[in-house]
Chains A and B, each alone.
Chain A
């Protein structure tokens, strides 16, 4: 236990910001605030920052390599003098503190000090007490050089599905999620490490024996860290709908049916197949994309259940990115498989962003067939002789749909079916909301203070939203949202730096400042 202050503490005289989540939203918000001279604690629960964007192959509509544009930012947050990067860590509590009294909100009543001068130094008034749990990596990060000898030696090598690669490849129990990880430090996955999960790993620890730096430390314990911050940015991201909730498409039954994010890993040059599009050991000849899988679903029984929507197989909103990433996927297939037949089944094409319609035009000219109709089913058609042949699982997949332009049902054979699954709120949204006292909108994402005019503010003074935790967004909108959240947080931080001197002139200091905007207007 102890209070961590930003390394080298260049800005102890300024209030700090907490950024929860190290995807592109959290990274961008942290960089902006840090560049402005405020200290930032960037907390990420995974072993590396990067989030979803790190998983992507190319980005639409410019086809920039996602990790090529993201990695420099990841490196920046890793070495920025004003950023304390706390990976493999989770925020466990955020408690508003009355800025005038320095007491926890709700505890100052009855305190005889409550009407007196601030308890904290006037130059650094905290607005939130934050507790962060640093999970044990079982690796001493000060010693680990990221060489990978441990992972090569691990008894579980090649047996643990890689979350980063969407289970397409298997890793070791000790791992870095991906080669560009920041920090490039190994982590032992306690749920699969033989020693940590079963108490024994043979006669000797292979990883320990292999590590030239002596970095592996199974005695490491979790550590609770107390922070004091003036603003919080929530950038906890999103989940994707479990495609098994749409059983008609056979995801989880047929290896040829995969999700969009799985396709990203398959197509990525740094992915498990080095970017080769291979299904069942073969290059697909016919590729079918199905859009809106689980998005735009209005169900009466779901409406009654509110945020349980995702569990019932669909969400009511448009996930906003699927039209464009499907166009991008179609382009990537065309790029790599010039002779493939590529069919995109769609209900609508929503190409709303800068350069998006132009990209859609381009992809259509690349011999990608857009057919209007939401497919209803995928099944495997037996070969005509009824025999099961090696490699095709007994026949080709058939996508059933109505081509609504033709007005008749069609059956399209496919060697690869890619499902554009809906963006959903994080499954642990209720816990995160409870931690911060945030509200969720009916779609299950965090509720902003005003749908039009205060898109990054929350009902809580000093707490801001960035990225997809507020609703589905593409990368440019996420970055814009993050930069707006950073600017709003900085406004609060600047006011805290200066306004504390005038706080003794306020009439009632027993009033929690968190119920007022910095200007003193009720929220």
Chain B
């Protein structure tokens, strides 16, 4: 890329195999942010195909993409449109032309192993003093807490509930403690390929050294990259909803309390669309005595992105007024549910914020599935 932000299109067209695009528009047609900002990935691909250069700086809407990968999932020609966004962001990262908040998140990850930039030594704050085995001593199951659940006071309840459930089920599990670092899923999607590679190498080595047979990730984002972008050979990578569903299925975990609530479930993009895990979260909810599960119209493959992925937790994007999360919480409220259940720390934060802003807090509460599980456990 030139200093003026002009990118030669040909190398990226080849690298990302964009030539197969037939311009059908299914990517932009399904893009949740294309409806509210100027991001048009189909049009960007066309420009890449027919013009020798692209002025990347002229496209601030590149930071609007949530990397929900609806476009990738639905592209009939396997073009992977979102990868172009990631590639173009990479050009902006290299030239330093990135939103300040994105820069801060990347710096935090580089320095402290988490996007908030909070101290690495404080990573175990979520435990509230509960002793959790150090995975470095060896364990069957490695619980990857993930950054937001580790640091964000609102989400810390999720790993705590997981520890309670795993302990009740008699699992031999541990965490990496303060040695745990950001998985890099959002790092790659923000275009910082170099930092991502470094994280894959360092985290991969540490995780493999534990010798666990299974890695349980709290966040679908970490789950996605560990499962699909790391090579953790010999280690099964699962999301916590899969692990809990299995414990329930095997009878190792039993619910004793009734949770008399009507609940609707929001499929996170990185768990649902991208990894096709739709049934386990629902199985966990359905197993809770007294709980009534109702569905929103857009569910499973058609779940509406909460706009928290792809670095959007740290960048507002170009249209602040119309948030997808606003739309989503109204959809949830329309089902008559009192609880909007989520299985992702980003969804928890974005949707809870939306409930407040939209004045739905009297009607609807956003809860992680583990919070409901916790209520059901003795």
B-binding residues in A (CB < 8 A): 247-248, 250, 292, 296-300, 314, 347-348, 372-377, 379-380, 382, 386, 394, 400-404, 407-409, 411
Contacts and interface: CB of A to CB of B under 8 A. Distances in A.
Contact of B302 (A250, A297, A298): A250
Contacts of B20: 298
Interface string B33-45: 0110000101100
Q: Which of B28, B29, B31, B40 is packed against the most chain A CB atoms within 10 Å?
A: B29
Given A247-B302, A296-B76, A314-B76, A373 B297 contact: no
A377 B30 contact: yes
5 closest Cβ pairs, A-B complex:
A376-B30, A402-B25, A376-B29, A373-B25, A402-B28
Contact of B29 (A300, A373, A382): A373
A379 B25 contact: no
B198 interface: no
Contacts of B22: 296, 347-348
Contact of A408 (B40, B76, B297, B330): B40
A411 B32 CA distance: 12
Contacts of B76: 292, 296-298, 314, 374
A409 B300 contact: no
A400 B30 contact: yes
Contacts of B31: 376, 409
Given A347-B24, A409-B35, A401 B29 contact: yes
Q: Which of B31, B35, B76, B298 is packed against the most chain A CB atoms within 10 Å?
A: B76
Contacts of A347: 22, 24
Nearest to A394: B297
Interface in B284-337: 297-298, 300-302, 330-331, 334
B25 A401 contact: yes
Q: Is the interface of B mostly helix, strand, loop or mixed?
A: helix
A376 B70 contact: yes
B23 interface: yes
Interface in B20-75: 20, 22-31, 34-35, 40, 42-43, 70, 74
A182 B138 CA distance: 73
Contacts of A402: 25-29, 34, 40, 42
A403 B43 CA distance: 11
Nearest to A381: B297
Given A407-B40, A409-B29, A373 B301 contact: no
Nearest to B71: A376
Contact of A409 (B24, B28, B302): B28
Contacts of B43: 407
Contacts of A292: 24, 76
B77 A374 contact: no
A375 B78 contact: no
Contacts of B70: 376
A373 B297 CA distance: 24
Given A297-B76, A297-B77, 14 more contacts: A247-B300, A292-B76, A296-B22, A296-B76, A300-B78, A376-B29, A377-B29, A380-B297, A382-B331, A400-B29, A402-B29, A402-B40, A404-B25, A409-B34
Nearest to B80: A300
Nearest to B36: A409
B300 to A, nearest CB: 7
A419 to B, nearest CB: 14
18 contacts: A247-B300, A248-B302, A292-B76, A296-B77, A314-B76, A373-B24, A376-B30, A376-B74, A377-B30, A382-B297, A382-B334, A400-B29, A401-B25, A402-B26, A402-B40, A409-B29, A409-B31, A411-B35
A314 B24 CA distance: 15
Contacts of B28: 402, 404, 409
Contact of A248 (B34, B35, B297, B301): B301
A296 B20 CA distance: 12
A400 B32 CA distance: 10
Given A347-B24, A409-B34, A247 B29 contact: no
B24 A374 contact: yes
Contacts of A382: 297, 331, 334
Nearest to B73: A248
A348 B22 CA distance: 10
A404 B78 contact: no
A376 B35 CA distance: 13
B75 to A, nearest CB: 9
B109 to A, nearest CB: 30
A377 B26 CA distance: 9
Contact of A299 (B25, B78, B298): B78
B302 A377 contact: yes
A302 B297 CA distance: 29
A374 B334 contact: no
B34 to A, nearest CB: 5
Nearest to A393: B297
A343 to B, nearest CB: 13
A322 to B, nearest CB: 14
A298 B78 CA distance: 6
Nearest to A249: B302
B78 A374 contact: no
Nearest to A294: B76
A347 B26 CA distance: 9
Nearest to B79: A298
Interface string B79-121: 0000000000000000000000000000000000000000000
A298 B77 contact: yes
Contacts of A298: 20, 76-78
B301 A247 contact: yes
Q: Which of B27, B28, B35 is packed against the most chain A CB atoms within 10 Å?
A: B28
B81 to A, nearest CB: 11
Contacts of B74: 248, 376
B322 to A, nearest CB: 13
Contacts of A404: 23-25, 28, 42
Contacts of A373: 24-26, 29
B312 to A, nearest CB: 19
A374 B29 contact: yes
A201 B71 CA distance: 53
A232 to B, nearest CB: 37
